[in-house]
């Protein structure tokens, strides 16, 4: 794209020297340590053509300064061939060694030569330049010569000088009267070997590169006539080349935003290094550039035409509003703030303009995007098989939203994030509509209100299903992780599975005050555990509110229910509470010399004999406490021996249970296999409904 690196001889800085040549001794003094500047200038070998672009850009500016019209005057480019040994031996293929750029612009007057001589000139910074573009001449070529004619006080003067690392601006302070017309010829030669490969041998390709670089000027008709001449080739008219290679592919549309009419030109660019860009133009020049995919996320990196040739999209937007509201330096355009509604109604917001651009482009690109959108929707359909929480978004009513907001070619993790944002936006919109509908209950008729409620409920049901699917899919994932961890235990006797499982069920060293509901998976053991009042994990009992009088032991999981104990439904029973303790033992452990569940019973005894209080600090009658213990362990021979004749076997022979002597609770021993299998059975119908069941 058009990149003005530096303002050369086509821009008048603020000060004017007192006479011809007066500024040049000053400028030569300012231009110091050129070798250091050139050495520090970063220019990749592939960008060795940049000096030509810089020379053309400066020639355009010189013409605009003279004629007041960017399309006035003319530029002639002449490629210079080297007279090397290969050519002398009869090879007629010219080897480019330099170029000349000739313009009929304002020339190197005193002000312009002063600007050229300043090491970091500010003359073009206002329009996006860096003030160092002319040093690319010395970076890529060994020699640079300038012949220029300028006008001062009704008289013309010639200034011829060399620009080099050694001599800086040699003879730039010498001027002579002349009758020749104003203009400048810049010639460079002696291309450095590392940059030679950047120059195409075919002048047609070079001409296309020039058009690609100055595409905005050509399309905006703010470019003077340019011809390219090369040895043994016919001259190339760049305007005609633009008309034949680019103009025929341009689509032009008009659209309105708040009463202002804009013109949009969209055309194909086949430079494979370019990206989709949108340019706002004012008074025939580019003002701002933005990424087109910020406006149309559905754009692929490359579009493909009817000949299956890849291209990127370049969009120009023009209009009187942009002309009237661009600043003097043409670096920004004034828009109305979205937050300030008190501004004049003649102003429009950037968001409103972006929407107009996007809507217009979608109509232009309808056929181009059809295949891309179909491929994207197919990808989403495959992804939803693994992530059913987004299945609701595959409904036809969300198709346009998905097409417009999801970029093509996303990886699964990126697609997951994109769909999550869309679902959240839908939920936010529903909440706003819910408040709006509630406010209309006194304003609209019952029939109208009923219709609004019906539409809202349909939307809420869709989102509700998506949330449920999300929750069920999460359970499927947790069970898969537990399965994988159990398999690893068999191969790695050092794998701390009990800690891993503990973390999955409830994060260690935390309490229910520290953990969100979706961070705990107590349903693996017992669905009822999800409804605890207080739960701690690997915390000392005497640190639990209400149990300060107990020991400092740390159950793996301790849950307290301050309301009616779980599993009790006697109507006359006073509300007391329930206590649940869960302990994990390492899978495969087979060295038990006592009942491993005894540690759970001991914690129950401490609680039963301690001064237990509720969450408000009121005493709780231990007579009404219900105790439930779970020991999760593999049923190895030594464990079975410790519980034999004292525990009841479960029907499936995968566990044991025993009722506490006082009848106020029980302890259950569950194998890891039973834990996982029972959890799968409880959730099977949900998995089947979502297509997540695994046989």
3 state SS for 222-266: CCCCEEEEECCEEEEEHHHHHHHHCHHHCEEEEEEECCEEEEEEE
Contact criterion met (CB below 8 Å) for 678 and 526: no
| DSSP three-state, residue 173 | coil
Q: Compute the chain's Rg from CA coordinates.
A: 39
Mean pLDDT for 42-57 is 89
Tell me, what's the pLDDT at 87?
47
| Interior angle at CA 440, CA 438 and CA 445, nearest 5 | 125
The token pair at 213 is 């670089």
More confident call, 643 vs 608: 643
pLDDT at 550 over 70: no
Q: How far apart are CA 288 and CA 331, in angstroms?
A: 7
Residue whose C-alpha is closest to residue 117's, from 158, 171, 175: 171
* Per-residue CA distances from 236 to 57, 461, 674 (Å): 18, 65, 82
The dihedrals phi and psi of 272, each to the nearest 5 degrees, come to -70, -10
Tell which wins on pLDDT, 197 or 77. 77
In the predicted structure, residue 493 carries a pLDDT above the cut 90: no
Query: Which phi-psi region, left, alpha or beta, contains residue 125 (left: φ > 0; alpha: ψ -120 to 50)?
Result: alpha
Span 108-123, average pLDDT: 69
**pTM of the predicted model, to two decimals?**
0.51
| Residue 60 exposed, middle or buried by CB count within 10 Å (0-12, 13-18, 19+) | buried
What is the longest distance spanned by two Cα atoms in the chain?
123
In the structure encoding, which two tokens stand for residue 588, read together?
């495969």
pLDDT score for 29: 40
Alpha-carbon distances of 634 from 33, 66, 348, 483, 551, rounded to whole Å:
80, 92, 70, 14, 28
pLDDT tens string 171-216? 878 999 999 999 999 999 999 999 998 898 889 989 988 988 888 7
Domains in the chain, CATH or no CATH each: 22-239 (3.30.565.10), 250-333+346-364 (no CATH), 369-477 (no CATH), 496-685 (no CATH)
- CA distance linking residue 37 with residue 40, whole number of Å: 5
pLDDT tens digits for 116-173? Answer: 766 544 444 333 343 466 788 889 999 999 999 999 999 999 999 988 877 777 787 8
Mean pLDDT of the chain: 75
Confidence of residue 513 (pLDDT cuts 50, 70, 90): low
Nearby residues of 174 by Cβ (< 8 Å), 6 or more positions away: 21, 159, 160, 161
The proportion of the chain whose per-residue pLDDT surpasses 90, expressed as a percent, equals 21
């Amino acid at each position: 794209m058009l990149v003005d690196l530096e303002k050369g001889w086509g821009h008048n800085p603020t000060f004017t020297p007192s006479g011809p040549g007066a500024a040049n001794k000053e400028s030569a003094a300012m231009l110091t340590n050129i070798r250091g500047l050139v050495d520090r200038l970063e220019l990749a070998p592939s960008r060795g053509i940049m000096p030509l672009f810089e020379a053309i850009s400066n020639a355009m500016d010189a013409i605009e300064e003279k004629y007041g019209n960017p399309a006035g005057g003319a530029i002639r480019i002449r490629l210079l061939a080297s007279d090397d040994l290969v050519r002398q031996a009869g090879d007629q293929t010219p080897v480019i060694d330099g170029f000349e750029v000739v313009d009929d612009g304002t020339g190197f007057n005193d002000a312009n030569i002063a600007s050229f001589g300043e090491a970091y000139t500010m003359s073009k910074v206002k329009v996006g330049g860096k003030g160092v573009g002319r040093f690319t001449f010395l970076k890529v070529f060994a020699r640079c010569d300038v012949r220029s004619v300028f006008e001062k006080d009704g008289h013309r003067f010639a200034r011829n000088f060399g620009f080099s690392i050694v001599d800086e601006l040699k003879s730039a302070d010498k001027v002579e009267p002349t009758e020749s017309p104003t203009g400048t010829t810049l010639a460079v030669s002696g291309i450095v070997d590392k940059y030679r490969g950047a120059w195409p041998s075919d002048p047609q390709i070079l001409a296309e590169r020039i058009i690609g670089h100055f595409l905005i000027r050509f399309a905006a008709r703010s470019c003077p006539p340019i011809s390219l001449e090369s040895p043994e080739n016919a001259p190339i008219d760049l305007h005609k080349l633009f008309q034949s290679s680019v103009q025929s592919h341009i689509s032009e549309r008009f659209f309105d935003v708040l009463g202002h009419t804009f013109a949009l030109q969209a055309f194909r660019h086949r430079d494979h290094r370019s990206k989709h860009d949108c340019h706002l133009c004012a008074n025939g020049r580019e003002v701002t550039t933005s990424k087109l995919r910020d406006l149309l996320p559905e754009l692929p990196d490359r579009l493909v035409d009817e000949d299956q040739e890849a291209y990127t999209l370049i969009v120009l937007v023009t209009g009187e509003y942009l002309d009237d509201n661009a600043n003097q330096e043409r670096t920004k355009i004034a828009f109305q703030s979205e937050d300030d509604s008190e501004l004049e109604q003649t102003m429009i917001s950037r968001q409103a303009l972006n929407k107009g651009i996007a809507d217009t482009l979608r109509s232009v690109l309808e056929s181009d995007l059809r295949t891309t959108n179909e491929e994207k929707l197919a990808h989403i359909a495959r992804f939803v098989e693994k992530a059913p929480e987004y299945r609701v978004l595959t409904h036809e009513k969300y198709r346009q939203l998905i097409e417009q907001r999801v970029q093509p070619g996303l990886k699964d993790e990126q697609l997951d994030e994109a769909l999550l944002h869309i679902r959240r936006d839908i939920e936010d919109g529903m909440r706003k509509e819910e408040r709006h509908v509630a406010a209309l209950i006194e304003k609209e008729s019952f029939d109208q209100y009923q219709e609004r409620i019906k539409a809202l409920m349909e939307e809420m049901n869709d989102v509700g299903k998506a949330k449920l699917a999300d929750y069920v899919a999460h359970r499927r994932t947790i069970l898969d992780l537990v399965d994988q961890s159990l398999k690893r235990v068999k191969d790695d006797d050092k794998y701390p599975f009990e800690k891993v499982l503990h973390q999955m069920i409830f994060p260690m060293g935390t309490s229910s005050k520290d953990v969100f509901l979706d961070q705990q998976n107590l349903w693996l053991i017992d669905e009822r555990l999800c409804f605890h009042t207080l739960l701690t994990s690997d915390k000392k009992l005497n640190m639990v509110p209400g149990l300060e009088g107990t020991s400092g032991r740390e159950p793996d999981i301790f849950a307290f229910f301050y309301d009616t104990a779980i599993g009790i439904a006697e109507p006359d029973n006073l509300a007391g509470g329930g206590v649940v303790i869960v302990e994990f033992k390492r899978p495969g452990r087979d060295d038990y010399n006592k009942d491993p569940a005894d540690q759970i019973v001991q914690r129950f005894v401490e609680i039963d004999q301690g001064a237990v209080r509720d969450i408000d600090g009121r005493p709780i009658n231990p007579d009404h406490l219900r105790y439930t213990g779970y020991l999760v362990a593999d049923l190895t021979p030594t464990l079975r021996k410790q519980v034999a004749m004292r525990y009841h076997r479960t029907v499936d022979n995968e566990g044991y249970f025993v009722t506490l002597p006082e009848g106020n609770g029980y302890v259950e021993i569950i194998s890891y296999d039973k834990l996982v299998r029972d959890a799968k059975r409880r959730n099977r119908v949900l998995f089947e409904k979502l297509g997540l069941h695994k046989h």
